[in-house]
Amino acid sequence: MNNTDHSTPLLSVKNLKVHFKGKRSGWGKPAAIVHAVDGVSFDVKRGRTLAIVGESGSGKTTTALSVMRLVAITSGSVHFNGVDLTHLEGEALRHQRRNLQLVFQDPYSSLNPRQRAGDIVLTPLVLLGVGTPEEQKEKVKELFRLVGLREDQQMLFPHQFSGGQRQRLNVARALATDPELIVCDEPVSALDIAIRAQVLNLLRRIQRERNQSFLFISHDMAVVEYICDDICVMYLGQIVEQATREAFFSRPLHPYSVALMSAVPTVSGGRKKAANRIKLIGDPPSPINPPKGCRFAGRCPAMKPKCELEAPLLREVIPGHKVACHFVTVENNQVKAPLDERFLLSI
- The residues, ordered by sequence, that sit 6+ positions from 268 with a Cβ below 8 Å of its Cβ are none
Q: Is 286 domain-assigned?
A: no
Q: What is the mean pLDDT of residues 187-199?
A: 87
Q: Is 196 domain-assigned?
A: yes
- The residues, ordered by sequence, that sit 6+ positions from 185 with a Cβ below 8 Å of its Cβ are 61, 64, 65, 102, 103, 104, 105, 217
pLDDT category at 6 given cuts 50, 70, 90 is low
Q: Residue 60 belongs to a domain with what CATH number?
A: 3.40.50.300
> What pLDDT digit, counting tens, does each position of 306-317 carry?
999 999 999 999
Q: Is 210 domain-assigned?
A: yes
Given a cut of 60, whether residue 343 has pLDDT beyond it is: no
Structural domain containing residue 267 = 9-22+31-99+179-277
Q: Which DSSP category does 251 fall into? A: -
Mean model confidence pLDDT for the chain: 88
Q: Is 174 domain-assigned?
A: no
pLDDT in the model for residue 129 = 86
pLDDT in the model for residue 346 = 43
Given a cut of 60, whether residue 270 has pLDDT beyond it is: no
- Cα–Cα nearest to 40, from 215, 261, 282: 215
Q: Which DSSP category does 266 fall into? A: -
How far is Cα of residue 297 from the mean position of the Cα atoms in its chain?
A: 24
The span from the CA of 227 to the CA of 53, in Å, is 12
> What pLDDT digit, counting tens, does each position of 287-342 carry?
998 999 999 999 998 888 999 999 999 999 999 999 999 999 888 888 888 887 64
Under 8 Å between Cβ of 77 and 15: yes
Please report, for residues 72, 154, 157, 311, the alpha-carbon distance to residue 64 in angstroms, rounded to integers and kept in the order given: 12, 30, 29, 24
How many structural domains compose the chain? 1
Q: What's the predicted TM-score (pTM) here? A: 0.89
> What pLDDT digit, counting tens, does each position of 148-174 carry?
999 999 999 999 999 899 999 999 999
Under 8 Å between Cβ of 39 and 76: yes
Q: Is 290 domain-assigned?
A: no
Q: Which DSSP category does 235 fall into? A: E
Q: Is 116 domain-assigned?
A: no
Parallel, antiparallel or unpaired: strands 213-218 and 49-53: parallel
Q: Is 297 domain-assigned?
A: no
Q: Is 168 domain-assigned?
A: no
The residue type at 155? M
The residue type at 10? L
Q: Where does residue 175 rank: exposed (0-12), middle (13-18), buried (19+ CB within 10 A)?
A: buried
